[in-house]
Chains A and B, each alone.
Chain A
């Protein structure tokens, strides 16, 4: 298995632009998680899905952030409009059970 796949690996954009991050979970995993990591705040859970249904989005910072999982093999995290404070590494993780999560390589987002 290729593991969790994220794209793009790096994204540089300007403030106000829409950003879409993509994730392909490991096949057969029922749980999918989106995390954000910064030096100041560490690793934060943004949202997670179970069987494509969003279960807990309490970590989503504000309405500019949205996440979807249209099918079991694909999820997106969208930021519209983006702001410089959104600069971070965004990780997607999947798991067959809630606890042993397998993380992707991350997307490093820079908003200028």
Chain B
């Protein structure tokens, strides 16, 4: 699975959009981009995933560049409850090798 690079930490003002970048320059054509987050003292939580088209759900939007070498997770109106570590994961979907490698992620702090 391709390696990802994320900033160690970011701050965002409450109510503003939080844009979390992820670089995955070695991504293969059949690898998806997944985002999970982990709020303090809780288990990781699935947010969204995509292959090459932009995706949106009730939690967030995922923007993937045309060359697929990077992506951005967007939380449109960040709240204090969005303070968490956000993990960008790249892997082939629906394969027997099922390891989600979480890496170190980005620690997002939403500031009142």
Contact of A91 among B32, B43, B93, B95 (CB under 8 A): B43
A102 in contact with B102 (CB, 8 Å): no
Question: Cβ of A25 < 8 Å from any Cβ of B?
Answer: no
Q: Are B46 and A43 in contact (CB under 8 A)?
A: no
Number of interface residues of B (CB under 8 A): 22
Distance A48 CA – B97 CA, assembled complex (angstroms):
10
User: Which residues of B are found within 8 Å of A102, using beta-carbon distances?
Assistant: 46
Interface residues of A in 52-87 (CB under 8 A from B): 55-56, 59
Would A98 and B43 count as touching, CB distance under 8 A?
no
Closest A residue to B98 using CB positions: A98
Q: A45-B99, A48-B98 are known contacts. Are A103 and B44 too (CB-CB below 8 A)?
A: yes
Let me know if B100 and A45 touch, CB within 8 A.
Answer: yes
- Contacting A98 at CB < 8 Å: which of B42, B44, B95? B95
Partner of B100, one of A55, A101, A105: A101
Additional A-B contacts beyond A98-B93, A98-B94, A98-B98 (13; CB < 8 A): A33-B98, A42-B104, A43-B44, A48-B98, A56-B98, A91-B43, A93-B44, A99-B94, A99-B100, A101-B44, A101-B100, A102-B46, A104-B43
